[in-house]
Structure 1
Amino acid sequence: MMNLKSRASITGVFAAVLTLMSVAAPAHAADLTILDIGNGTLVRKGIAVEVPVTFVCPADSIETGLNLEVREDFGNGDFAAAGQGVGGFTCTGESQTITVTAPATSKGGAVPLKIGKATATVLMQVCSPTFDCPTVEITTEIKIKNK
């Protein structure tokens, strides 16, 4: 049976560990930044779009994920959309760029993307070794062009 002094000691250590984890969490979150969503390039006559995303995430990240959504409005309620998730990339702690290829999608089948303006949203999440998993999201206008 554990005496009162041992329980107090274990409780104190546990509280100290929780405090350290909560202090470390904001630093990991502060190191996650989406720097830029670049202009898109049509792939195979608009069945997909390639979009470069530049970001910084902590080098100690153990789980990574990035989701790209692109929406192109043509007026009268007509639109084309594309989306793709990417995971498993390695964070370096420095600025890095990955190009995401997002296939065109919509209700009832794919509608090809076209040259022009579009709205791009990137949602990114990375997890620290202590499973602090901050999320960052930005939305911006991009231009879609041919290769």
Structure 2
Amino acid sequence: MRRIMTTIALLGLSLFVLLAPTPASAANTVDVTSATLVARGVAVDVTVTVVCPASTSGSIELSLRQRSGSGLAYGSGWAPVHCTGEPQEVTARVTAQESGEIFRNGETLVTGGLEVCGEDSCEYPPFTDTIRVTH
């Protein structure tokens, strides 16, 4: 009987540890708030509002894709994130690829990920959004 109770207790403890949220997963959110043309469309400054736990840090990685004339403008960029537990604005510069077109005013697809690392683990919650690029 003692062995059965010990086994049940260990199983319960194992489930608790597996299901408990890690500091990195405790409320990571990303909201794309603006996109502004830079250097006549060679780049776009993308501003996002990020919330992540104060005991974590990481980075935001972004990719943009936009129809531009008869071609496609695309590029990627990143910015470091110093988590505070409160909403904060982070701006990442996305540079157009040389083999593509330049970015223009208009709708753009934004995809990316927020890498958030705590003491023991990292998480990479992805996001996808559309935003209007402006001057």
TM range, smaller chain: 0.7 to 0.9
* Aligned: 1:136 with 2:130: no
* Aligned: 1:104 with 2:100: no
Distance 1:24 1:128, change over 3 A: farther
Looking at structure 1, the residues matched to 49 and 34 of structure 2 have their Cα atoms a distance apart, in angstroms, of 12
Contact 2:68 2:102 in 1 (8 A): no
Q: CA deviation at 1:111?
A: 2.1
Q: 2:52 aligns with which of 50, 57, 65?
A: 57
Moved over 2 A (4+): 18-28
Counterpart secondary structure, 1:31: coil
Q: 1:33 aligns with which of 29, 34, 56?
A: 29
Q: 2:77 aligns with which of 54, 71, 84?
A: 84
Residue 63 of structure 2 corresponds to 69
Q: CA deviation at 1:23?
A: 5.0
Q: CA deviation at 1:27?
A: 5.2
Among all aligned residue pairs of Structure 1 and Structure 2, give the percentage whose two residues are the same amino acid. 28
- TM-score for both structures, normalised by structure 2: 0.78
CA RMSD in angstroms comes to 2.2
Structure 1 alignment gaps of length 5 or more? 1-15
Residue 95 of structure 1 corresponds to 87
Quick check: which one's strand share is greater? 2
Counterpart secondary structure, 1:101: strand
Contact 2:49 2:90 in 1 (8 A): yes
1:121-132 equivalent positions in 2, closer than 5 A: 121-131=111-121
Q: CA deviation at 1:114?
A: 0.8
Structure 2 alignment gaps of length 5 or more? 1-12
Give the length in aligned residue pairs. Answer: 123
Q: CA deviation at 1:45?
A: 0.3
Looking at structure 2, the residues matched to 46 and 145 of structure 1 have their Cα atoms a distance apart, in angstroms, of 10
Counterpart secondary structure, 1:123: strand
Residue 5 of structure 1 corresponds to none
